[in-house]
Structure 1
């Protein structure tokens, strides 16, 4: 019943387990997130957004307050929080102003500042965009997209089986490369071809489809070119690639074998590579299978329903193995394909479940929201693979991960906001206290950064004793000596501020 694998590379990777790449072991949800949304991406977005903000403010004769890195991270944290709450269709002002909504929104920043950042968020230099658009219609987002894909490729070691499929990011605004896919629920959107790990749905690499260029002929062998381009980083690893009928062909199977990669995929019924014997026929019996073998390529034609035929191609299987225990007597190629084909569909479903997407007319923002969703999913897969004890015996691991990630992203800016303006409204201060951000904690943190305090006379001792100490009372911040101080454990000390 086991598959006969011809190449040595396939045998060496038969039991490979996915794991973070060396040097990429996450310590916390934010650390896992930082591996995908890196500092160079954030710095580029801050620079381009500030240029746009200054231009827009100058037109209105106003002054623009530059976006800092912490403030941008807080903006991303609030966006992810909306995805965690499944409130992406709720208006921004309702999220920030409603008393029953999550207090993290109003504790992080004002609704006006959030809308200003979202309005001016840019991903490239506007002054040089026209020149880059001559050769790349995705110029407004290309640099950030390439940086993100580079991070995805080098952070994770996939299983022995990966899958290539497409994702349609819903969008109906103005865009030169918008696609119409009637089989998808959204119908219109931006098409992205993804290479995903079949078991964990980790997104390894992607290609945004630009469509036919003006003045050029339609691309030929698009499926073959896409798979070869996405699998270029897996060359000589012996891994198996799963594809659907759009990509699968005999030329693709031969091209992958030359790179020591195997292929399992479904063939279209009108494919010229299918022998006449294997095509649909009313005379064929239910649950019957026909096999064909040539040049390390196996083709199987299976009848799952009356007058219907499923035809698959494989360079991983080389015999007529059938699952005899099954009532339907499915060939092993069919069962293997069914168990591994859902990687990208699962990824797309998980991304849409807790998506941070908001309504917008700008396609770069649509791409950016999708990058945030995929980055959050990849960070979760990476973190869970190294922290199996995280939220054991619960079914909402990813939701808890997003909650912790959002809080870690917004906390530094929340502290800066309170430190810069200690006279914030009481409702905002009380919201900050829910997440452990208080004036006392800020003062303790400042004291820790400043180092040991100067020694002064203990305010409890009489002046004639002249007893000096560097310790401060945690309540009144007066200097006290050891005789007039009390020792408490760290748990009680921290619990006092909560």
Structure 2
């Protein structure tokens, strides 16, 4: 449904000629679908955990699903060398104690998820913000420091390079990551603990294009004056030269460290755009369903990116369409097996019954390479065609053979 957006769920089963699509009716009755959706739960609400328990988990209603997906994301993929840490907001205006309000964001209300993504937009690891008292802060580290350490725990010692914004960056965190063989780069707030005092605006006035650098051990702090002051912390790049550098047109030249940061920091935003491009979730759902279907969209996107990384040529939308058709066909085959039509080793007659059992409206002709028509061949006629059934992947003449293949046992 994500690739076929409609205002209400009932529109998918509407008989109005503007909306009528037999595919949904032939797959599942509307009331059955709505009942399943209504009673969709992932834990037993009659046996909730004790809220007074110090270990109480606010995500308990969906924790098992979340952790299982998170583990699979890491298990099935080796991420690229360069990764980015950032936050995304799952739009939600209902009632839940860990809902966030961020006035400067386009999505002001919602559930915050911290993600670790690579250049493809693949979500490798994630964690949900559950409130200040639920964060990973200790006496030694801040909550944002703890979030980053949790997200990178599966890539420690592998030589990755991490990019992050000033919400996370700090000298203490970068030193900690370097001890784990991870280099880092990110914008940073000038009042973070460990930042040099003499590089702050009160200590030093800069003109547009000026670059100032301070170095301590493996860490470099770069202040560059653009329309406003930009502070970058890095142990990934050599410290840039100080001065004011301009091109032939007189425009200020960005230091390489800032260009590199801009090129790699958008991985999480890229993932979020792709997830939301065919989003399934509806505005009025409870937070558990909202988060579950967001995770489902994320899972489909990760599956598509795995397909693409292995040389697949399908678009994201086409991948979702093929996935839906394959799942429905698999469901029909399972129903036939349970009902006793096909048990044990598959036979040719069983395959024929599966072919006829699936509704014709789910099969569509498509144009491809020229091949011999299957129906004509079985009738000892040599006839070539450019058309084939998209679901069956069988070459068929559109005029008559397509209908015969999907409506008769003996074609």
Secondary structure of the residue aligned to 2:273 is helix
- 1:65-112 per-position Cα deviation (integer Å, ceiling 9, x unaligned): xxxxxxxxxxxxxxxxx210233xx11212211434343211211110
Tell me the C-alpha RMSD between the 2 structures: 3.1
Q: Does residue 147 of structure 2 align to residue 147 of structure 1?
A: no
Residue 131 (structure 2) aligns with: 211
Residue 103 (structure 1) aligns with: 22
Please give the residue correspondences for 1:387-466 in structure 2 after superposition, counting only pairs within 5 Å.
387-388=311-312, 390-391=313-314, 397-413=315-331, 432-436=359-363
Q: Structure 1-normalised TM-score?
A: 0.64
1:133–1:283 CA distance, 2 compared to 1 (3 A): closer
Residue 59 (structure 1) aligns with: none
- 1:277-298 per-position Cα deviation (integer Å, ceiling 9, x unaligned): 4333784221111111111001
2:208–2:226: 8 Å Cα contact kept in structure 1? yes
Residue 497 (structure 1) aligns with: 405
Q: Which runs of 5+ in 2 are unaligned?
A: 340-355, 365-374, 383-393, 407-411
1:175 and 1:359 map into 2 onto residues whose CA distance is: 15
Please give the residue correspondences for 1:35-54 in structure 2 after superposition, counting only pairs within 5 Å.
none
Q: 1:377 aligns with which of 301, 307, 313?
A: 301
Give the Å deviation of 1:148. Answer: 0.7
Residue 298 (structure 1) aligns with: 220
Q: Which runs of 5+ in 1 are unaligned?
A: 1-81, 392-396, 421-428, 438-473, 475-484
**Could you tell which deviates more after superposition, 410-419 or 113-122?**
410-419
Aligned length in residues: 351
Residue 170 (structure 2) aligns with: 249
- 1:197-217 per-position Cα deviation (integer Å, ceiling 9, x unaligned): 1x1010001111110349x99
Please give the residue correspondences for 1:80-229 in structure 2 after superposition, counting only pairs within 5 Å.
82-87=1-6, 90-97=7-14, 98-101=16-19, 102-131=21-50, 134=53, 135-197=56-118, 199-213=119-133, 221-229=142-150
- 1:118-144 per-position Cα deviation (integer Å, ceiling 9, x unaligned): 001111123332348842121111111
Secondary structure of the residue aligned to 1:127 is coil
Q: Does residue 179 of structure 2 align to residue 258 of structure 1?
A: yes
1:154–1:345 CA distance, 2 compared to 1 (3 A): same
2:359 and 2:201 map into 1 onto residues whose CA distance is: 66
Give the Å deviation of 1:230. Answer: 0.7
2:268 and 2:257 map into 1 onto residues whose CA distance is: 20
Secondary structure of the residue aligned to 2:320 is helix
2:171–2:195: 8 Å Cα contact kept in structure 1? no
Q: Which has the higher helix share?
A: 1
1:361–1:402 CA distance, 2 compared to 1 (3 A): closer
1:106–1:431: 8 Å Cα contact kept in structure 2? no
- 1:269-327 per-position Cα deviation (integer Å, ceiling 9, x unaligned): 3334333443337842211111111110011101112xx11000001112326997694
Residue 234 (structure 2) aligns with: 314
Please give the residue correspondences for 1:330-345 in structure 2 after superposition, counting only pairs within 5 Å.
330-345=254-269
1:108–1:413: 8 Å Cα contact kept in structure 2? no
1:280–1:172 CA distance, 2 compared to 1 (3 A): same
Residue 292 (structure 2) aligns with: 368
Secondary structure of the residue aligned to 2:154 is helix
1:224–1:247: 8 Å Cα contact kept in structure 2? yes
Secondary structure of the residue aligned to 1:383 is helix
1:271 and 1:348 map into 2 onto residues whose CA distance is: 28
Q: Structure 2-normalised TM-score?
A: 0.77
Secondary structure of the residue aligned to 1:121 is coil
1:350 and 1:301 map into 2 onto residues whose CA distance is: 33
- 1:208-253 per-position Cα deviation (integer Å, ceiling 9, x unaligned): 1110349x99996111000011111111111111111010000001
1:433 and 1:387 map into 2 onto residues whose CA distance is: 31
- 1:372-393 per-position Cα deviation (integer Å, ceiling 9, x unaligned): 11011101110011124x14xx
